[in-house]
Amino acid sequence: MPGPAVDSQLDLTGGRGGNLTIVTKTSSFSAPRGVPDYLPPGSAEFVAVRDGLVATARLAGYGHVELPVFEETALFARGVGESTDVVSKEMWTFADRNGESFTLRPEGTAGVMRAVIQHGLDRGQLPVKLCYAGPFFRYERPQKGRYRQLQQVGVEAIGIDDPALDAEVIALADAGFRGLGLDGFRLEITSLGDETCRPQYRELLQDFLFELPLDEETRRRAQINPLRVLDDKRPEIKEMTAGAPLMIDHLSESAKAHFEQVLGHLEALGIPYVVNPRMVRGLDYYTKTTFEFVHDGLGAQSGIGGGGRYDGLMAELGGQPLSGIGFGIGVDRTVLALDAEGKSAVDGPRIQVFGVPLGDVAKQRLVVIAAELRKAGIRTDLAYGGRGMKGAMKAADKSGARLALVLGDREVAGGEIGLKDLSTGEQRQIPLDEAVAQVVETLAGGQN
């Protein structure tokens, strides 16, 4: 129960920032709007999805990279694109005490590319294969599965322009979803062209858009990056742009050949896809192969992950003119997709064995047995706090464990321990010094 409300002031002396006064009105706090807590038992699903998606990438040789949670604002403005909603509307930006501008990372690719350039990874063996997982931040309207602090798993393959690598990256996402048991999704894919055809298409699209009665903001967006207008979700804009020329119809021979090879690799891998010529991802750096995984069980906000090739990004950020391709998968969105299919990625209960000590001597012995079971890879918990038999067994049932080890001080003296199957209620006495071996054998012989 929260304590009484308080009204206090804390004077925190800073450096050049001077004094910061925090007025505390009450001792009861809530998480910021749009920032979820992940708590048991539901957090088990979140962890299983996140770790399952990362594990698939590691099987293909992608090494882990841990990124800063905030970077210089200019990195995202230049890397993501000033015309995007991410940069113009959704970034969490702040000035430090020296007046320099920093931003909580809204996506992962720009930060990965900065790290690759800074630490010279692009000077070694190519492609540089990296994967990551963690929170990203966007100031948008919170809704189910779409938060201001969103959780993503990302993969980046940098330094090689090869359609087979594009297919590998897409296949990793596909395998990640299927490895979790998800199958009600589809892959939508297109090509956004390359430097040999994008300038001509840009001019063609702008000629079309500037003939439309666009509002001032949309016209400005069309001037900076006309593709962004095709991504506008407003019904009136979608209707006006229904007849707009599409990039996929104006690909150069090289871009067309690249796209056809990617599709050929996907077909050889048995990965179904749908070509979506109107697809425009929300970030400006995409070129050539661009894709998204969607799940209709999520309604209008159907995207669960996507990505594409970003051949000019490294040079834009001051590095070599090397290509790259990657994806970002929403962990929260994937959890919702599994729920929509009535599935779970959690492998078994949180606890397999629950120890019930009845007496101090018994507790001392069970603590050791629990440690030995954990060393054997068995998820084990104990009833703490001197609970009686009834309370301890109730805790055992709530834990979801299959087995309970029941031990009293007299049983310790007699060299026996009770092994109870919580699903059937059957209990038998076994030798105390064989407890670990018999639990392992029992769990191995049935569902655990």
Place of tokens 């993969």: 155
Using DSSP's 3-state secondary structure scheme, residue 369 falls into helix
How much is the pLDDT for 24? 52
Task: Check: CB of residue 289 under 8 Å from CB of residue 166.
Answer: yes
Please state the length of the chain: 448
Closest CA to 132 of 164, 165, 105, 168: 105
Q: List the chain domain ranges.
A: 43-197+251-340, 353-444
pLDDT at residue number 142: 85
Question: Going by C-beta distance under 8 Å and a sequence separation of 6 or more, which residues neighbour residue 373?
Answer: 353, 380, 436, 439, 440
For the structural domain made of 43-197+251-340, what CATH number should be given? Answer: 3.30.930.10
The Cα–Cα gap between 289 and 136 comes to: 24
Q: Which helix (H) or strand (E) holds 93?
A: strand 93-95
Q: Which pLDDT score is estimated for 2?
A: 44
Report the 10 Å Cβ neighbour count for 334: 30
CATH number among 3.40.50.410, 3.40.50.800, 3.90.45.10, 3.50.50.60, domain 353-444: 3.40.50.800
pLDDT (0 to 100) of residue 446: 61
| CA gap 49, 44 in Å, rounded | 9
Domain 43-197+251-340 shares a fold with domain 353-444:
no
The two structure tokens encoding residue 192: 């956004």
Amino acid at 380: T
**Residue pair 304/330 in contact by the 8 Å Cβ criterion:** yes
How high is the pLDDT of residue 227?
A: 83
Task: List the one residue out of 33, 284, 320 whose CA is nearest residue 160.
Answer: 320
pLDDT at 14: 40
Interior/surface letters 393-418, b for 16+ CB within 10 angstroms, e for the rest: bebbeebbbbbbbbbbbebbeeebbb
Residues forming beta bridges with residue 191, ordered by sequence position: 289
Residues 6+ apart with CB under 8 A from 178: none
Residue 366: closest CA among 358, 350, 391 = 358
Using alpha carbons, select from 379, 380, 303 the residue that is nearest to residue 334.
Answer: 303
Which helix (DSSP H) or strand (DSSP E) does residue 45 occupy? helix 43-58
Q: What is the pLDDT along the chain (448 residues), one digit of tens a residue?
A: 444 444 444 444 444 444 455 555 556 899 999 999 999 988 999 999 999 999 999 999 999 999 999 999 999 988 887 767 788 788 999 999 999 999 999 999 999 999 999 999 999 999 999 999 999 999 988 888 789 999 999 999 999 999 999 999 999 999 999 999 999 999 999 999 998 998 899 899 999 999 999 999 899 888 888 887 887 888 999 899 999 999 999 999 999 999 999 999 999 999 999 999 988 765 667 889 999 999 999 987 789 999 999 998 999 999 999 999 999 999 999 999 999 999 999 988 889 999 999 999 999 999 999 999 999 999 999 999 888 899 999 999 999 999 999 999 999 999 999 999 999 999 999 999 999 999 999 999 864 4
